[in-house]
Structure 1
Amino acid sequence: MSHPDRLAWPEARRRAAAAASPLGSEEVALDQALGRVLRRDVAAGIDIPHYASAAMDGWAVAGPGDWQLRDGGPLRHGEATPIVTGGLLPAGADAVVRSENGHVDGDRLVLDRPESRDHIRPPAEEARSGEVLVSAGTRLSPAHLALAAAATADRLEVARQPTVTTVFTGDEVVLAGIPAAGQVRDSFGATIPTILRMLGASPARSLRIGDDREATVQALRDAGTDLVVTTGGTGGSHADHVRRALDDLGADYLVPGLASRPGGPTLLARIPNGPLVLGLAGNPLAAMLGLLSLGDVLIAGFTGRAVAPLVKVPVPASVKRHPEATRLVPVRAGLDEVEWTGAAMMRGLAAATGVLVVPPVGDAEVLPLPWA
């Protein structure tokens, strides 16, 4: 059965990408910058390295061997002194003899086998002072932070992260223990905020409400954050109140629904003078795939981060298409569809390395998992 109000998956993703604008920037210390989006280029404050150093443990030497050993430099022709990896090369030295290629005989250093290189790391071998090392718009990895430290940066200018309120709905949800018939364990409390953080947002608070229209209106109206992410309540049953609450608040639907399997009830709306609302389905897999489909590009818009195009691949012969909707298929490496991919199942996604986005016609795309 078709749903004319549900947007095609690519169009919904485009609308989500365009829904948010960058929120400005702030300065943070290096140890607080992991995963943040850089807003100002990081340039080398000094040459890297800023002095000539040894690339190996051994001896700094001047001229061909053998050499007279001395304790420290500067060195004259025919002299040597011990040195460690990274140590300052003394004046007059023109090579480093590796420790395994020489031995000490009294006060002399004797070369046991010829050296093929000088084993000196010259100044500015990696970068020159003023050279841009990390460009604005980069999402910062541990390697970027190590490079920024080497460049003498102590603080970085990064994009402000969108604050998020998560609203978990459902009378049937229990937080601990064995659920009774008709009840389900909470699959979202420990996961949705974590995924939002992985995507670059800043979860501010979480609310739990029952299937109640007025409570839903209040939660959305009083969120006080840039974004609200809800779980459950986006369908059309008597127990679903997210859409009714959005209507009560005069919200504008940017994505009224998603033409995907699973995740069709996913929505994106804007409350006048209020937050964006990303409404996820109540079934765990459907909710997760809705969040991965729209949440990543939405949060990228808040932070000014560019989203890399998805990789296109042929649809494997073993993967079936849906005639009207985009299938979101958890797959392993090699694009093998996993088992247990019903909308309420998490076992398949837990075993997956990515999600195959399979349209009714044409090539598929690979949607990465932020934790894979």
Structure 2
Amino acid sequence: MAARKSATSWSEARRLAFDCASSIPAMPVPLAETIGRTLARAVTTSQDLPHYASSAMDGWAVSGSGPWTLVKPGQPLVPHHASPIATGGLVPVGTDAVLRRESGRTSDDIAGVPTLTLGPEARPGEPRSGQHIRPAGEEAAAGEVLIPAGTVLNPAHIALAAIAGHDELHVFGKPRVTILLTGSEVVTSGMPAPGQVRDAFGPQLGTVLAMLGGDPVGRRRIGDSYQEWLAALSDTGTRPAERPDVVITTGGTGRSGTDHFRNAIAALGGRLLLDGVAMRPGHPAVLAELLDGRFVVGLPGNPLAAMMALITIGAPLIAALGHRPLSNLRLVASGTAIGADPGRTRLMPFRFDNGLASPAHHTGPGMMRGLAWADGVLAVPPHGAQPGDRVPALPLPWTPSLTAGSAGSHLFNAPTVPV
């Protein structure tokens, strides 16, 4: 079947979904909730890191040469005196070095005064001036930028911010996403009977949206009636803070008598931003905006078609709202000839084999077997491809977790295509 004349090209659809949204304003967020968010204000340190000189070893803080008279921990040292110290402990005033525990020996002198001397395991020249002391400011000086604005925060960034004394960070807003699952024939557990299908979206779609940078905040399941569609899309939450930025729907985007996406959007005063994409699978994908500013992404009902639509228009939309860039495509070498499909981009899950990308098997619109083992998705242009041709490709939301050296890592080493 030829692509609908009104369908937008695949590359134009990605760009439109990205350009239609503005990033959510930045806000202060508690430190533990900022992992994965984009930093809006640079993180600096108001004091040296570390802010005091500390010991790098368990042992003794020593002043001058030995033997040393032992004094109580923490008090200032004068030459030939020492005091016990633990790793990370504050170095007393007057300390020249830290003698590690393995290198010292304690005993009482003739007068019964506790004394520290070098032990048989001491190394030549030990202790040298400054040895085993972590000076103040070793990691950063006061006022230094630790994390620049625009950084997508990882757990190590959060730990660094905590060390610098921050309790919250200014990060760009994370789009709140609700999921509207439809279909009277869908069952959520057990083996489906003839005429029924098992729910492929409920167990995983929220997690995928989180991987894309969204904040899944709700999920609702309805049947196939127009009234249910209208009521579900009308529900914005009891408070403005609970209102989602994006609603993801599954099914109902075709043009049969049981497909109500477009009619429900029109009844609510919304507008269609994108009505169909010249791609396969997933061409019935729809993007709309409601009067209250919510975006609605209509995914087809078939599982693979829905996932291809999600990475085509859902991912760019969520990226724009979350102040992230539209991801570039990668160029990979095709491992086989792929025929032309005039007017449409074909999205084909693929596997790497000796560095070449070959379409996976079991990739019909309703199949998930091929996608489950895919390294990425080829965006095959309408004219097709020949063996060895460079073909645009996208990673899957979960492929960034692939370890270096795995098959999927080839995709991240491939050259990019500017959007």
Partner of 2:95: 93
Partner of 2:373: 351
Q: What's the CA shift for 1:247?
A: 4.2
How many pairs are equivalent? Answer: 370
Residue 248 of structure 2 is aligned with which of 225, 229, 245?
A: 229
Q: Which runs of 5+ in 1 are unaligned?
A: none
Q: 1:308, 1:240 → 2: CA distance?
A: 30
Q: What's the CA shift for 1:212?
A: 1.9
Residue 183 of structure 1 is aligned with which of 184, 196, 217?
A: 196
Q: What's the CA shift for 1:132?
A: 2.2
Return closer, same or farther for 1:163/1:95 CA change in 2, 3 Å cut-off. Answer: same
Opposite residue 31 of structure 1, the aligned amino acid is A
Opposite residue 88 of structure 2, the aligned amino acid is G
Q: What's the CA shift for 1:277?
A: 1.0
Q: 2:60, 2:336 → 1: CA distance?
A: 62
Q: 2:328, 2:339 → 1: CA distance?
A: 19
Residue by residue, what CA displacement relative to the aligned partner does 1:273-303 show, whole Å, maximum 9, x if unpaired?
Answer: 4421111111112212322332232122223
Equivalent pair of 1:60/1:82 in contact (CA under 8 Å): yes
- Trace 1:127-206 onto structure 2 (pairs within 5 A): 127-206=140-219
Partner of 1:108: 116
Q: What's the CA shift for 1:152?
A: 0.7
Partner of 2:277: 258
Equivalent pair of 2:253/2:298 in contact (CA under 8 Å): yes
Q: Which stretch has the larger CA shift, 90-99 or 176-185? A: 90-99
Return closer, same or farther for 1:123/1:285 CA change in 2, 3 Å cut-off. Answer: same
Opposite residue 123 of structure 2, the aligned amino acid is R
Equivalent pair of 1:234/1:265 in contact (CA under 8 Å): yes
3-state SS of 1:21 partner: coil
3-state SS of 1:165 partner: strand
When the two chains are superposed, the root-mean-square deviation of aligned CA atoms in Å is 2.9
3-state SS of 2:262 partner: helix
Return closer, same or farther for 1:311/1:151 CA change in 2, 3 Å cut-off. Answer: farther
Opposite residue 91 of structure 1, the aligned amino acid is V
Matched, 1:9 2:10: yes
Partner of 2:261: 242
Return closer, same or farther for 1:83/1:192 CA change in 2, 3 Å cut-off. Answer: same
Q: 1:338, 1:39 → 2: CA distance?
A: 40
Equivalent pair of 2:362/2:369 in contact (CA under 8 Å): yes
Equivalent pair of 1:47/1:124 in contact (CA under 8 Å): yes
Opposite residue 372 of structure 2, the aligned amino acid is A
Q: What's the CA shift for 1:170?
A: 1.2
Return closer, same or farther for 1:285/1:35 CA change in 2, 3 Å cut-off. Answer: same
Equivalent pair of 1:52/1:120 in contact (CA under 8 Å): yes
Residue 304 of structure 2 is aligned with which of 285, 302, 306?
A: 285
Partner of 1:314: 332
Q: Which stretch has the larger CA shift, 3-12 or 170-179? A: 3-12
Opposite residue 87 of structure 2, the aligned amino acid is T
Q: 1:90, 1:210 → 2: CA distance?
A: 72
Equivalent pair of 1:284/1:344 in contact (CA under 8 Å): yes
Using structure 1 for the length normalisation, give the TM-score.
0.87
Equivalent pair of 1:332/1:351 in contact (CA under 8 Å): no
Q: 1:181, 1:74 → 2: CA distance?
A: 84
Residue by residue, what CA displacement relative to the aligned partner does 1:71-116 show, whole Å, maximum 9, x if unpaired?
Answer: 434233344333222111122223233334x131523331521358
Matched, 1:24 2:25: yes
Residue by residue, what CA displacement relative to the aligned partner does 1:316-367 show, whole Å, maximum 9, x if unpaired?
Answer: 3247465431424254695565443332222333334544444446542332
Q: 1:338, 1:64 → 2: CA distance?
A: 72
Matched, 1:365 2:393: yes
Q: What's the CA shift for 1:146?
A: 0.9
- Trace 1:261-280 onto structure 2 (pairs within 5 A): 261-280=280-299
Q: 1:260, 1:168 → 2: CA distance?
A: 23
Q: 2:339, 2:155 → 1: CA distance?
A: 39
Larger Rg: 2
Q: 2:396, 2:52 → 1: CA distance?
A: 42
Q: What's the CA shift for 1:61?
A: 2.8
Equivalent pair of 2:276/2:284 in contact (CA under 8 Å): yes
Return closer, same or farther for 1:155/1:174 CA change in 2, 3 Å cut-off. Answer: same
Opposite residue 241 of structure 1, the aligned amino acid is H
Return closer, same or farther for 1:253/1:83 CA change in 2, 3 Å cut-off. Answer: same
Q: 1:260, 1:26 → 2: CA distance?
A: 38
Q: Which stretch has the larger CA shift, 314-323 or 260-269? A: 314-323
Equivalent pair of 1:353/1:369 in contact (CA under 8 Å): no
Q: Which stretch has the larger CA shift, 11-20 or 315-324? A: 315-324
Q: What's the CA shift for 1:48?
A: 1.0
Q: 2:273, 2:57 → 1: CA distance?
A: 60
Equivalent pair of 1:66/1:78 in contact (CA under 8 Å): yes
Return closer, same or farther for 1:88/1:19 CA change in 2, 3 Å cut-off. Answer: same
Opposite residue 371 of structure 2, the aligned amino acid is L
Q: 1:241, 1:336 → 2: CA distance?
A: 37
Q: Which runs of 5+ in 2 are unaligned?
A: 108-114, 237-242, 402-419
